[in-house]
Amino acid sequence: METVSFNSQTQQIFQILSKAPQEPFDKGDILRGRIVSFENNVALLKLSDGSALTVKVPDGLEIDINTIITLEISDRIEGQLIAKILSIANLSESDKTEMSVLESVLKNGLLNKIDSQILNQIIQNIISWNEEPSAKLISDAIEILEFEPGLTVEQGTFAAVNNIKPDSETTSEMLKILQKISEHEFQLSDSLEIVKSELLQEIFKADTSLKQEIIRLLVIENHAKAMVSEIENEFPSLSENISDSAVYEKLIELFLDQVADSINGSTVINNETAANIAEDFLSMVNKDTGTHEKTKALNMTGNTMELKIAPDSEMAVKLLVIIHKTVENIHTHEKRVLQDIENEVKLLLDEIVDRIMIDEEELSESISLKQKARSFADIIKLTKYIMDRLNINNESALFQTFNEIDQAFRFFWQVTSYNYCLQLPLRFKNEPVTGELYIMKRRGRNKIDLNDFTLFFSLKTKALGMIEAFINSKNRRISINFRLEQEELTKLFKDNYMILYNGLMEKGYMLVDFKCRLLEKERTNILNAQEKAESYLNLKSRVDLKI
């Protein structure tokens, strides 16, 4: 152990006692470190490279734990090493974070796994997503980048932050869809059109029996969804129960069982059919609602529906009427589809996909994220079931496109572990546009707060090309920053400023800031939307919505 003797008459001299690094110090070397312990004028100094020094502090010098000290190595005195104090400063919160991360990185040997510059990028990216840059999270990002070398550091870090692990069976596909989404190569609206077109052709090619089975399922699914919406509006108390996916799937099974032969005309559509469905349906939704109608008491005679239960059973009577009407509609619709399969099946598929479309009117209202997500999940399940029945080849365009949509859906749910994110197709002026809707909500929210939100949208229209817009609303005071492809359009947008101002005013908002610039070369995506929003709108806010 090397010992150093110092001139104790000056308080600007430190005596380095032990634990010096293996490589000797040279005169003039600058050391910067943090005091981690201090007792009896002896302090342990943790240097920025991870090594530590035990130093003797001059008498009378007051030093607190976490103090940052910068030293300059001086000459030896009587064979001992001395160092002169250049500066003493308290550790700021950012410094504490930096030192804590550095210690964790060094302790876990992460510098041996990856280049220090990339490591720093990973740490900064993690912090930008408001996450703690722990050694585990940093290590996860490194493992993902090693697993998929084609990823950028930003993509790898985003995957790690959202708990995508390299040891999962679906990791490779999840990372591919992340790449496509962040690089604007995945377009949900286009993929849905491909699936609809390919599915339509496969249904046409199926044998008569299988074709009828699938048509029956599509018709029932269509009318069951409409029935559920009607019941939710009529009986809000049943809304939570009836919207449960397990209850909805059981409802489809009930209809399939009761009208299984109606497409061939062998089943008579009457009150008994409706009563059977109503009985089983009520037994499901009554489990958690506290409603105890005795559905067995339903008595149907002819076209008259009589309910022999308690006086407060009006709910059961209304439900029976709704279900009876739905059964009749299913029967009528099935017959119509068989008369014009090509056009009618296409319409059925269009109606199902329309459930996840967001119309322009909805953009000015509080969009139900849960409802859109549920509709998306229903479409995934329904399509998968039909593809299984059709025995679709894994190499077909239909299977490959559907699988990509399925992975995208899984990815969006994965991201919701801390930020709600869901890509949806958008209908603008009654026409579908090339662009999707990302909804990245703040933690703990199910809906957008119309009094406080940040919104980013991008649309690609035939007339206007690519449009990006950043919008911030605080207490209904709106700031908007547009980014356009063409210089001429910036003038067009500015000329229509008052139209936008008046339109927002009618909806209870005030436009307080409006800017219009040319689109930058680097497009906004799921990885940089937050950073750009903060830059363009001068705020520190999560992106709530991306179209």
Q: How confident is the model at residue 391 (pLDDT cuts 50, 70, 90)?
A: very high
Domain boundary among 354, 377, 396: 354
**Residue 367 pLDDT > 80, yes or no?**
no
Q: Are strands 465-474 and 452-461 parallel, antiparallel or unpaired?
A: antiparallel
Average pLDDT score over residue span 178-193: 90
Which domain CATH number covers 455?
Answer: 3.30.750
Higher pLDDT, 439 or 75: 75
Asked if 496 and 509 sit in the same domain, the reply is: yes
Higher pLDDT, 178 or 93: 178
Asked if 472 and 515 sit in the same domain, the reply is: yes
Asked if 225 and 340 sit in the same domain, the reply is: yes
285 within a domain of the structure (yes/no): yes
Residue 518: per-residue pLDDT? 92
**Residue 312 pLDDT > 70, yes or no?**
no
Q: How confident is the model at residue 363 (pLDDT cuts 50, 70, 90)?
A: low
- Helix, coil or strand: residue 488: helix
Average pLDDT score over residue span 256-281: 63
Q: What angle is formed at CA 10 by the lines to CA 62 and CA 91, rounded to 5 degrees?
A: 35
Asked if 214 and 140 sit in the same domain, the reply is: no
Residue 190 token pair: 């286009």
Contact between residue 513 and residue 479 where contact means Cβ atoms under 8 Å apart: yes
> How many CA atoms within 13 Å lie on the side-chain side of 279?
16
Contact between residue 88 and residue 23 where contact means Cβ atoms under 8 Å apart: no
Most confident of 89-93, 231-235, 358-362: 231-235
What whole-number distance in Å separates Cα of residue 60 and Cα of residue 41?
Answer: 9
Cβ neighbours around 107 below 10 Å, total = 10
Domain boundary among 167, 192, 219: 167
pLDDT digits (tens, 9 = 90+) for 100-118: 555 555 555 555 566 777 8
Domain boundary among 319, 335, 354: 354
Average pLDDT score over residue span 71-100: 67
189 within a domain of the structure (yes/no): no
393 within a domain of the structure (yes/no): no
**Residue 198 pLDDT > 90, yes or no?**
yes
Residue 465: per-residue pLDDT? 85
Q: CB neighbours of 28 closer than 8 A, spacing ≥ 6?
A: 72, 73
First to last CA, the chain: 65
Measure the CA dihedral 509/514/519/520, to 10°: -110
Contact between residue 262 and residue 334 where contact means Cβ atoms under 8 Å apart: yes
- Helix, coil or strand: residue 102: helix
Asked if 316 and 348 sit in the same domain, the reply is: yes
Task: Classify each residue of 508-520 as buried b or exposed e, where b means 16 or more C-beta atoms within 10 Å of its C-beta.
Answer: ebebeeeebeebe
Higher pLDDT, 196 or 291: 196
Measure the CA dihedral 508/514/519/525, to 10°: -40
Domain that holds residue 42: 13-91
Q: How confident is the model at residue 288 (pLDDT cuts 50, 70, 90)?
A: very low
pLDDT digits (tens, 9 = 90+) for 395-417: 899 999 999 999 988 888 887 54
Asked if 282 and 302 sit in the same domain, the reply is: yes
Q: What is the DSSP string of 155-218?
A: HHHHHHHTT--TTSTTHHHHHHHHHHHHTT---HHHHHHHHHHHHHHHHHHS-HHHHHHHHHHH
Q: What angle is formed at CA 510 by the lines to CA 508 and CA 511, rounded to 5 degrees?
A: 140
Asked if 120 and 51 sit in the same domain, the reply is: no
pTM of the predicted protein model: 0.68
Cβ neighbours around 296 below 10 Å, total = 10
Q: How confident is the model at residue 195 (pLDDT cuts 50, 70, 90)?
A: very high
Residue 294: per-residue pLDDT? 38
> How many CA atoms within 13 Å lie on the side-chain side of 100?
11
Residue 117: per-residue pLDDT? 78
Q: What percent of the chain has pLDDT over 90?
A: 18
- Chain mean pLDDT for the chain: 76
Average pLDDT score over residue span 501-518: 91
At what angle are helices 153-161 and 135-147 packed, to 10 degrees? 130
Asked if 36 and 50 sit in the same domain, the reply is: yes
**Residue 322 pLDDT > 70, yes or no?**
yes
Residue 62: per-residue pLDDT? 73
304 within a domain of the structure (yes/no): yes
Residue 248 token pair: 């909805």
pLDDT digits (tens, 9 = 90+) for 119-145: 778 888 887 777 777 778 888 898 899
Residue 206: per-residue pLDDT? 92
428 within a domain of the structure (yes/no): no
> How many CA atoms within 13 Å lie on the side-chain side of 8?
6
Asked if 222 and 314 sit in the same domain, the reply is: yes
Asked if 66 and 105 sit in the same domain, the reply is: no
Residue 49: per-residue pLDDT? 64
Average pLDDT score over residue span 458-482: 86
Question: Which of the residue ranges 75-89, 212-226, 342-356, 533-547 would you say has the lowest mean pLDDT?
Answer: 533-547
For the chain, the farthest-separated pair of C-alpha atoms sits apart, in whole angstroms, at: 115
Higher pLDDT, 338 or 29: 338
What whole-number distance in Å separates Cα of residue 102 and Cα of residue 95?
Answer: 10
Q: Nearest Cα to 519, choosing from 458, 475, 468?
A: 468
Higher pLDDT, 469 or 107: 469
192 within a domain of the structure (yes/no): no
Q: How confident is the model at residue 526 (pLDDT cuts 50, 70, 90)?
A: confident
What whole-number distance in Å separates Cα of residue 141 and Cα of residue 101?
Answer: 15
**Residue 70 pLDDT > 90, yes or no?**
no
Task: Classify each residue of 222-258 as buried b or exposed e, where b means 16 or more C-beta atoms within 10 Å of its C-beta.
Answer: bbbbebbeebbeebeebeebbbeeebbeebbebbeeb
Contact between residue 409 and residue 380 where contact means Cβ atoms under 8 Å apart: yes
Average pLDDT score over residue span 61-72: 77
Asked if 234 and 341 sit in the same domain, the reply is: yes
Domain count, the chain: 4
Q: How confident is the model at residue 546 (pLDDT cuts 50, 70, 90)?
A: very low
Q: CB neighbours of 434 closer than 8 A, spacing ≥ 6?
A: 187, 189, 190, 459, 460, 461
Which domain CATH number covers 63?
Answer: 2.40.50
Q: Nearest Cα to 461, choosing from 489, 491, 498, 487?
A: 489
Task: Classify each residue of 128-148 as buried b or exposed e, where b means 16 or more C-beta atoms within 10 Å of its C-beta.
Answer: bbeeebebebbbbbbbbbebb
Contact between residue 356 and residue 379 where contact means Cβ atoms under 8 Å apart: yes
Residue 179: per-residue pLDDT? 95
Higher pLDDT, 352 or 374: 352
pLDDT digits (tens, 9 = 90+) for 136-176: 888 889 889 989 999 999 999 999 988 898 888 888 999 99
Asked if 146 and 250 sit in the same domain, the reply is: no
Q: What percent of the chain has pLDDT over 70?
A: 73
Contact between residue 55 and residue 16 where contact means Cβ atoms under 8 Å apart: yes
